[in-house]
């Protein structure tokens, strides 16, 4: 039995030495130290020994089990240390390597131009106001001197949601709401989305963006309007930009003008961008019609004002030389990454 015990111990220590991983170690533990292991089986065979031999043999078996168990624990610790060292080597960071560049979001070109415009007008003392995109006929048309039978309604194809409820065709509706709730002096801009039933092409969209401006105070004249719009054009396009005012018609302003700027592409000489004219139309403006002031409870005999409407989409396409307005709405990453 002693010889058999020595053979089992030698085989166990050899198996521990040759173990390659934790699974091999666990197999050794089960084979030699488990409940049905070979060293445990030796203890069960001691029933055939004499009373004098049992304690001696029991001590030898326990000593062998302790040696195997100690060798097994040492092997496991060694494997764990080697695995940890390997992991540290694999996870070593070379601090001389350049860092990975995380891709971050950026502003859409429309938002970039909008923020610039808000900064320009705020520097001139304008507040920013907002209004609902779903409007009533009252605010969108009637208070703007466009009654139901007015021919100017034919100038805009409107999305009606219900009788007298529509998607606003202009952010001027927010100006009416402002004049109803504020007393002059008033100096505000109203940026936002507007909706008209236009066919989609390179220069038109049923959804686009406007920034409407309004000033109401005592003694406001056309000269004030001209000064504000010239300053705006120089801030957006550069101090060398020329500004031209052409007579026009809008039912909510009188007199009314269209405002052109010299083409930034050709400097006014004529090119593909300006279609040979040398000028690009950027906005409409005029002196607030007395009927509009009167509908908002403001006395036109005491106060006067001017208003203007800027197409943000057109301004963005001319500023960045974008040939097709649809690119602003398609969310093509290849296009947006250029900004």
pLDDT in tens, 235-288: 988 888 889 999 999 999 999 999 998 877 776 777 776 777 788 888 999 999
- DSSP conformation class of 151: G
Buried b (16+ CB within 10 A) or exposed e, 223-257: ebbbebbbebbbbbbeeebbbebeeeebbbbeebb
Please give the mean pLDDT across all residues of the chain. Answer: 86
* Nearest-angstrom CA–CA distance, 118 and 217: 21
Question: What is the token pair recorded at 310?
Answer: 């800027």
pLDDT of residue 200: 86
pLDDT of residue 152: 61
Global pTM reads 0.67
pLDDT of residue 116: 93
The H-or-E segment that residue 322 falls in is none
* Nearest-angstrom CA–CA distance, 161 and 140: 14
* Nearest-angstrom CA–CA distance, 309 and 306: 11
* Nearest-angstrom CA–CA distance, 216 and 323: 37
| Phi, psi values for residue 300, rounded to 5° | -70, -15
Residues of the chain with pLDDT under 70: 1, 5, 39-40, 43-50, 54, 152-156, 267, 273
Are 258 and 248 a contacting pair, CB within 8 Å? yes
pLDDT of residue 261: 87
Q: Distances in Å between the alpha carbon of 259 and those of 7, 121, 171, 280, 296?
A: 105, 17, 18, 9, 27
């Amino acid at each position: 039995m002693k010889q058999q015990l020595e053979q089992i111990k030698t085989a166990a220590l050899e198996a521990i030495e040759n173990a390659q991983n934790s699974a091999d170690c666990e197999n050794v533990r089960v084979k030699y130290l488990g409940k049905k292991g070979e060293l445990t089986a030796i203890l069960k065979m001691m029933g055939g020994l004499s009373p004098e031999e049992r304690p001696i043999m029991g001590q030898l078996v326990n000593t062998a089990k302790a040696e195997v168990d100690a060798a097994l624990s040492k092997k496991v610790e060694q494997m764990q240390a080697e695995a940890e060292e390997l992991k540290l080597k694999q996870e070593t960071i070379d601090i001389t390597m350049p860092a990975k560049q995380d891709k971050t979001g950026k502003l859409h070109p429309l938002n970039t131009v909008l923020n610039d415009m808000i900064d320009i007008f705020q520097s001139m003392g304008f507040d920013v106001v907002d209004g609902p995109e779903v409007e009533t006929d009252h605010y969108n048309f009637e208070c703007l001197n466009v009654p139901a039978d007015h021919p100017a309604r034919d100038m805009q194809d409107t999305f009606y949601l219900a009788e007298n409820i529509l998607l606003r065709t202009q952010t001027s509706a927010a100006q009416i709401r402002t004049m109803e709730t504020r007393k002059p002096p008033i100096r505000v801009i109203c940026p936002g989305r507007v909706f008209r039933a236009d066919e989609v092409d390179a220069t038109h969209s049923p959804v686009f963006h406007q920034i409407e401006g309004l000033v109401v105070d005592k003694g406001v004249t056309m000269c004030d309007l001209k000064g504000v719009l010239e300053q705006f054009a120089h801030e957006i396009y550069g101090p060398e930009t020329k500004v031209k005012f052409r007579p026009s018609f809008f039912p909510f302003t009188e007199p009314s003008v269209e405002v052109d700027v010299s083409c930034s592409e050709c400097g006014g000489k004529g090119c593909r961008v300006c279609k040979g004219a040398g000028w690009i139309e950027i906005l409409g403006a005029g002196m607030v019609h007395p009927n509009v002031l009167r509908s908002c409870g403001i006395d036109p005999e005491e106060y006067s004002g001017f208003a203007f409407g800027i197409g943000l989409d057109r301004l963005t396409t001319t500023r960045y030389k974008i040939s097709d307005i649809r690119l602003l709405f398609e969310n093509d990453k290849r296009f947006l990454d250029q900004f």
